[in-house]
Amino acid sequence: MEVTTVTGTKRMDELEIGDLVLVPASGNLLKYERVEMFYHREPETTARFVQINTESGKTLTLTSLHLLPFDDCDILNEAHLNIEDIDTFMRQSKFAHKATPGQCVISLTPSGTLSIDRILSINRRVSKGIYSPMTVEGSIIANGILSSCFSQLESHAVQKLAYDALVGIYNAFGYLQDAIVEPTQEIPSMLNYIHQLSRFVLPFSKY
């Protein structure tokens, strides 16, 4: 998958902490945010992936348990895609494996605005390499499609709260500096603890 940075397009495996990547601000406004850390950066890990193909010709491949904002097209078409609507859709993100053809995602148009994009087909495959860069907003535009930065736990909001706390702690103690040159990263320990705890106390954990 590819993302847009201030210096041009980059593949996920080429991204580094500190890169500025494109994220949504509102329907007619986009901005660049710094990659703070990687939720996953595991080039040798083999996983199940969902490949989403849209009406506009875009293709997004992500793990089955990655969170993605999608819904019935009628619901998304009623939105104005301002920052409040985008935040709402991000909080309602669901596991990618639950998406079905005929539903819609939010994608980037050639003119640089966000629009509703119908899912035409969904394929499934097994592949190697998992990359999930983290931005301050917890969202990112990958291959021209809006996606959450989170996975494993079906709650964007809960993970965003945990992530904000984690970044605050890491910044306070300078831990993020070590991650800049670290080639492989797994889920940060605080987020992993929440995933494990969710199996017992939360209804929206792993399937």
Q: What is the pLDDT of residues 54-94, one digit of tens each?
A: 999 999 999 999 999 999 999 998 887 777 888 889 999 99
Between 53 and 176, where is the model more confident?
A: 53
pLDDT at 194 over 90: no
pTM of the model: 0.81
Q: What is the mean pLDDT of residues 193-205?
A: 49
Q: Please, where are the H alpha helices in the chain?
A: 73-77, 83-91, 156-173, 176-179, 189-201
Residues 14 and 6 sit within 8 Å (Cβ to Cβ): no
Domain 2-201 in CATH 2.170.16.10 = yes
Between 37 and 63, where is the model more confident?
A: 63
The span from the CA of 85 to the CA of 159, in Å, is 19
Q: Specify the amino acid at residue 40.
A: H
Q: What is the pLDDT of residues 183-193, one digit of tens each?
A: 444 444 445 54
| Domain limits, the chain | 2-201
Token readout for 23 is 């994220």
Between 51 and 179, where is the model more confident?
A: 51
Token readout for 194 is 């929440």
pLDDT at 198 over 90: no
**What pLDDT, on the 0 to 100 scale, is given for residue 26?**
59
**What pLDDT, on the 0 to 100 scale, is given for residue 68?**
96
Among 14-18, 22-26, 118-122, 127-131, the least confident range = 22-26
